[in-house]
């Protein structure tokens, strides 16, 4: 490993080692690597959500005829920091198209409102048609 450039860099490395020892090493043997999608059980599926945050994974939930997708920060605000803006836009469009076409609830992490929204198309854009009631 190269020598730390300065004290800040040395502290950052030390902190990274602590995070690894605390949060990664204990579960590493249980990790499942997957691409595109991973079915957790009959009702839950992880899907790749490239472009926004590395490792971002919308979670799709189905129960009978009810459907929802937990989008995390995939759908956020117009001012976003994106890993790959073109890919992020395509991922967002794919998720929103499916939600609008199949009456799948969107459960975002950063929207105001009660938590789950029904999405509809307005031309080539999408809008919240109503917030789902609990």
pLDDT at 78: 62
Domains and CATH numbers, the chain: 1-31 (no CATH), 37-131 (3.60.15.10)
pLDDT 10s digits, 38-80: 999 999 999 998 888 888 899 999 999 999 999 988 887 666 6
Q: What order do you get walking across the sheet with 66-72 strand by strand?
A: 37-39, 44-47, 59-63, 66-72, 105-108, 117-122, 125-131
In Å, what is the CA distance from 55 to each residue of 29, 63, 72? 18, 25, 11
Which residues in 84-124 belong to E strands, given as ranges? 105-108, 117-122
Average pLDDT over residues 32-37: 91
């Amino acid at each position: 490993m190269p020598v730390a450039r300065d004290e800040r860099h040395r502290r950052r490395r030390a902190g990274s080692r602590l995070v690894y020892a605390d949060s990664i090493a204990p579960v590493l043997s249980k990790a499942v690597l997957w691409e595109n999608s991973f079915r957790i059980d009959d009702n839950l599926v992880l899907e790749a959500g490239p472009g926004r945050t590395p490792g971002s994974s919308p979670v799709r939930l189905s129960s009978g005829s009810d459907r929802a997708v937990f989008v995390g920060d995939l759908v956020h605000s117009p001012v976003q920091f994106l890993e790959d803006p073109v890919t992020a836009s395509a991922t967002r469009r794919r998720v929103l198209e499916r939600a609008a076409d199949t009456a799948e609830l969107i459960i975002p992490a950063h929207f105001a409102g009660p938590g789950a929204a029904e999405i509809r198309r307005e031309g080539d854009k999408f809008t919240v048609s109503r917030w789902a009631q609990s």
